[in-house]
Structure 1
Amino acid sequence: MATQPSIRTRGMELLMSYYQHPSVKVRNQLVQLNAGLVRKIAHRVSHQCAEPYEDLEQIGYLGLIRAIERFNPHQGCAFSSFAVPYIRGEMLHFLRDRSGTVKIPRRWQQLNKEGQRVREALMEATGRQPTDNEIAEALGVTVNEWRESKLATKNRLPLSLDATICQQIDSPMTLGDTLPDAHYQTLQNLEEDRQQLQRAMNQLEDKTRQAIEFVFIQDLSRKEVAEQIGVSPMTVTRRIHRGIQQMVTLLQPQVLQTDP
């Protein structure tokens, strides 16, 4: 049975191979190898919506393929961290296309509709705005149930990013101002991954590190690398394989922390 490090090593080798020479065969192998990531995200998203898990899983594979096609292993980013936004993004696009507003439970919809009718009747009878207690009593529900139905209806429509959330001295702060810069966060994550990869590379034996850098960064052939470091091409291949396994072992704790 394949161990976790060997699976990660195989994945890294396939990603390197696909980046240098893209092919449907290698891409399909990568899809199979990362199918668990798609299923994991689909499982989570399915609990947050009414769409079937199977539909979300199929949509997620489209995101995985896009991630494979765009991934650059030389940037030092863990593929799982890179692929998650693509996979989840495809699912969210699918959900957004299926529904323009947030769905609320049918009971709350009916309760709110009946509550509006009761409110109008009480206003006509008393000549004033009825309280939540009066409306809830007329509906035969608790005050909390009535208030929850009102809040759900109020929150059904999306907020504008231009909506003011607080007033500063010189200018108001809008909802859009509080949103994180996704591009900056991506660059920050890539830099952190690059630093982790570099630290792992620095712990390799000199000729092993040189072999990996020559092949995967400078794109030299194994024969050319063998001449550079004074060993046989077969030794270069063995050093690369051993070096990748060592790096995966060194990076494994960090990778596990960033898995979704």
Structure 2
Amino acid sequence: MATQTSSLRSRGMEMLMAYKQQPSIKLRNDLVRLNAGLVRKIAHRVSHQCAEPYEDLEQIGYLGLIRAIERFDPSQGCAFSSFAVPYIRGEMLHFLRDRGSTVKIPRRWQDLQKASQKMQADLLRHYGRQPSDHEMAEALSISVKEWRQVKMANKNRMPLSLDATVCHQTDSTITLGDTLPDMHYQLLQALEEDRQQLQRALSQLEEKTRSAIEFVFFKGLSRKEVAERIGVSPMTVTRRIQRGVDQMIAYLQPQALQTDP
């Protein structure tokens, strides 16, 4: 079993490296199928903490998986599963957040809600207990389904704490606050993605050009100091830096088109 798992991981990494070198729809779909179990595992866990169907969460999770595949850099030495989980779970949480957005209640439902308040009090006195959904629907001359929609719509108008869970299950761990985007985390994630793209662009450059850029921009050396280190003139260092920057820009522009949503 351990040997089979190791073989799958090795195959997956080979496919990720191939995709990074030459992206294709077919290879991306193969990677999605290979990592589908990760999406199902996260969807299963989240579905037990909210009211949304497992199938919907699974489909949304695949969007996160695709984004992770497109942005993963095998050369960074990070396990793909660790890299992909935040993307997959993040898509599901964004979906839950969007599903909880404020919706304008139809006028008919507002009128029914007002009428139900007096009706409910009358039925409470008549039966000596809270009326059932069927009894309320019959008294209002509407279907049980519509009465439940009216109740739910009215309940959703009430302001909730960010500490409230996204469903009524007692063991739910996802709160409304969890579904809000963490701007600090998103900023760090964006910076890390930028760093990885710059590193990939640098790796495409000729060795001396790459060294010149790293010495000047990363280590703060003067062009004269760099010239002495790599054995060329300061003017040549300037030319190499300019040419290298132009090459990096040309490399990064198509990357941005591929990864931007």
Q: TM-score range by the shorter chain?
A: 0.3 to 0.5
TM-score by length of 2: 0.44
Higher relative contact order (CA 8 A, sep 6+): 1
TM-score by length of 1: 0.44
